[in-house]
Amino acid sequence: MKLSKLLGNIEIIRYTGDLDKEIEGITYDSRQVKKNCLFICIKGQVSDGHDYIDNAIENGATALLVDRPVEKEDITVIQVENTRKAMPIIGANFYGHPSEKLKLIGVTGTNGKTTTTYMIRSILNEAKRKSGLIGTISIDFGNVEIESSRTTPESIDLQRIFNQMVSQGMEYGVMEVSSHSLEFGRVDQCIFQIGVFTNLTQDHLDFHGNLDNYRKAKEKLFYKTKKANIINIDDENGRLIYKNIKHLNVPLLTYGIEEKADIMAKDIEINDNGIRFRLITPSYETMIVSSIPGKFSVYNVLAAASVAYAEGIDKDIIAKGIEELKYVPGRSEVLQIDKPYKVIIDYAHTPDGLENILKAIKHYAKGKIITVFGCGGDRDKTKRPIMGEIAGRLSDFVVITSDNPRSENPLDIINQIEEGIKPTKCPYVCIENRKDAIKHAMTMAKDSDIILLAGKGHETYQIFKDKTIDFDERVIVRELIQEGI
């Protein structure tokens, strides 16, 4: 594609060199640059692409997009006001605006995004409608499955993925939309048919500063939709978002359990085998059964069913699609082990997420609840004592350990969690090494006890200051059993 066409709809401050040259690739990562590539210099939270210009040229870049003066000979340099804002436009131009050829469904919120997208996709599969999935666990479409590195990919990567989905005949794209992606403009140039809000609780305050800013970032999704917006009306922030967007010329559907809503759950039954309830919509009622237990699971089903309702999918297909999804990796995942106690792995890494999973377990637990968890380093520190208090209040024993400490001292994080658990009087122990922490929990577990391994979920690694190690809790548990624990 000619560079001039690639730059369509972008306001250029100044440029040097030839705008008529052919561009064969676009990237913001100098390591990915190939011959005849446009290298886009973006400033991230850790590094600045402008510092890697020489590497990009060495690797074959023939054009640079910058947002500060750069003097280079024998290469085209285009300066714009903000390269990050220009990047999604370039990505959409290069890949031919693929999101216009997909029915794109975006799900945002603090908790429930992953499970809700899996449920939506399961219903679409049952309805024989081809769909791709983009989210925290993986990017999955057709015969392609890629491990995900972040909840929502960077804008250029998104456009490339959409293009691949279209080429593989996908009708739908179902994706998690993070607050970071909305704030950074990663989903600019994405044409969403449906937007879904699950809930909003404390998370990412290290980035957003406060809950108001966090909510406003999430709210941006609902100004990008064409067909319907779907809001959890039981959530306080959901009600605020509803109030702010109801003037938009886009149909608005609400779902809930407590408040009056368009899509509701009644006669709810929850046990260790899952949930069962009567789904009520403006057009019909039907029974829903899911093997994923907990009240939060009811909300996730309602969100997915609301999307299916907006798409005109038959009620029997909705029920079958929900029933067919047996579990989501790292989300209330019960390990299949030959032990008299249960081990559940869950991604709960926020106060609300931890409270939800513990309340769900408490609802059906016959023995003691032993919780093993930590908090991530270089993230919101204020939630650490809050999560300590929640774990202490809802567990019978707690093992405080490491999560992904990143650049922080793991013991400092553990001490901050400990401040929250002390007032609860719940017995606990601090074991920094996460494998040893799991071993301690398994050693003390008795008949009918439930061990909750919270925070890592689907992750198969652990991040430290100087290294990243393999750490899959499913593997760890089975190794410990083989060792005779």
What pLDDT tens digit does each residue of the chain (485 aa) get? 999 999 999 999 999 999 999 999 999 999 999 999 999 999 987 889 999 999 999 999 999 999 999 999 899 999 999 999 999 999 999 999 999 999 999 999 999 999 999 999 999 999 999 999 999 998 999 888 887 777 889 999 999 999 999 999 999 999 999 998 999 999 999 999 999 999 998 666 666 578 899 899 999 999 999 999 999 999 999 999 999 999 999 999 999 999 999 999 999 999 888 999 999 999 999 999 999 999 999 999 999 999 999 999 999 999 999 999 999 999 999 999 999 999 999 999 999 999 999 999 998 899 999 999 999 999 999 999 999 999 999 999 999 999 999 999 999 999 999 999 999 999 999 999 999 999 999 999 999 999 999 999 999 999 999 999 999 999 999 999 999 99
- Residues 24 and 76: their CA atoms lie apart, in Å, by 14
- Beta carbons of 202 and 386 less than 8 angstroms apart: yes
CA angle 127, 233, 119 (to 5 degrees): 25
CA-based torsion, 469, 414, 203, 275: positive or negative: positive
Using only C-alpha atoms, the chain has a radius of gyration, in whole angstroms, of: 24
The answer to whether 50 touches 37, Cβ cutoff 8 Å, is no
The residue type at 139:
I
Residues 6+ apart with CB under 8 A from 14: 79
Domain 3-83 has CATH 3.40.1390.10: yes
Dist. CA 253–CA 283, nearest whole Å: 13
**Partners of 286 in the β-ladder:** 279
Number of other CB atoms surrounding residue 268 within 10 Å: 13
pLDDT reported for residue 144? 81
Find out whether 117 and 175 touch, Cβ atoms under 8 Å.
yes
**Class of the CATH-defined domain 98-324:** alpha beta
**CA distance linking residue 352 with residue 270, whole number of Å:** 19
Identify the DSSP state of 7: T
- CA atoms of 249 and 271, how far apart (whole Å): 41
The answer to whether the beta carbons of residues 256 and 233 sit under 8 Å apart is yes
Instruction: Count Cβ neighbours within 10 Å for each residue of 281-318 and write b for 16 or more, e otherwise.
Output: beeeeeebebbbbbebbbbbbbbbbbbbbbbebebebb
pLDDT of residue 325: 97
- The predicted pLDDT at position 277 comes to 98
The enclosing H or E element of 228 equals strand 225-232
Q: In what order do the strands lie in the sheet with 450-454?
A: 333-334, 342-346, 450-454, 369-373, 397-400, 428-430
Pair of tokens at residue 184: 């950074």
* pTM recorded for the entire structure: 0.91
Query: For the structural domain made of 333-482, what CATH number should be given?
Result: 3.90.190.20
- Whole-number pLDDT of residue 142: 84
* Spatial separation of the C-alpha atoms in residues 378 and 371, rounded to whole Å: 23
- Contact, 458 vs 347, CB < 8 A? yes
Counting every residue written for the chain, the total comes to: 485
List CB contacts of 45: < 8 A, sequence separation 6 or more: none
Give CA–CA dist 387/413, Å, rounded. Answer: 12
Domain limits, the chain:
3-83, 98-324, 333-482
